[in-house]
């Protein structure tokens, strides 16, 4: 509970060089990790992606869109736990302590000028967007059923 405010709760964030970016070191295979490796392979092997290689990528972030009713249920349960631990705290303290970084980071993502890149050829569950930079790139993936505007 104490650490939730330091993470964006709506993303899976893979820094290039972390153990999940090396398939032989990954202990759990999820759809996101499979898509991550297919995307990295595509970036490193396709001639059209020559400028966007993973060696110039800082991180790849998978954005999650959660149904509002499910989110509401999760927040209610979190608030119950929070209220037991912090008896003299109110709802605004809960939002600040649990969702502060999430709100900040989502606003930052919304304000970015992202370039749509598309899907890797052998994977169509996620659509990728790119923050272009002179030195390093940041990739964002979103479920292909949604748009980055969601």
Helices (H) and strands (E) in the chain, counts: 3, 5
Q: In the predicted model, what is the mean pLDDT of residues 93-109?
A: 86
- The set of residues, in sequence order, having a beta carbon less than 8 Å from that of 7 and lying 6+ positions away, is 101, 102
* Two structure tokens written together for 95: 């939002």
Report the length, in residues, of the chain. 150
How far is residue 4's CA from residue 35's CA, in Å, rounded to a whole number?
25
| In contact, 140 and 148? CB cutoff 8 Å | yes
Per-residue pLDDT for 1 more than 60? no
Query: pTM of the entire structure?
Result: 0.79
Confidence label for 110 from pLDDT (cuts 50, 70 and 90): confident
Q: Which two tokens stand for residue 76?
A: 């209610």
């Amino acid at each position: 509970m104490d650490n939730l405010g330091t993470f964006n709760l709506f993303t899976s964030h893979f820094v290039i060089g972390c153990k999940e970016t090396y398939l032989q070191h990954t202990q759990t295979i999820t759809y996101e990790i499979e898509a991550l490796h297919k995307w990295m392979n595509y970036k490193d092997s396709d001639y059209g992606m020559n400028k966007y290689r993973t060696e110039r990528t800082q991180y790849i972030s998978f954005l999650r869109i959660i149904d509002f009713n499910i989110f509401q249920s999760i927040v209610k349960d979190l608030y119950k736990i929070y209220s037991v631990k912090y008896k003299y705290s109110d709802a605004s303290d809960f939002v600040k302590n649990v969702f502060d970084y999430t709100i900040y980071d989502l606003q930052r993502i919304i304000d970015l000028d992202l370039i749509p890149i598309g899907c890797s050829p052998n994977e169509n569950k996620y659509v990728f967007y790119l923050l272009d930079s002179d030195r390093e790139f940041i990739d964002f993936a979103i479920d292909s059923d949604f748009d980055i505007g969601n």
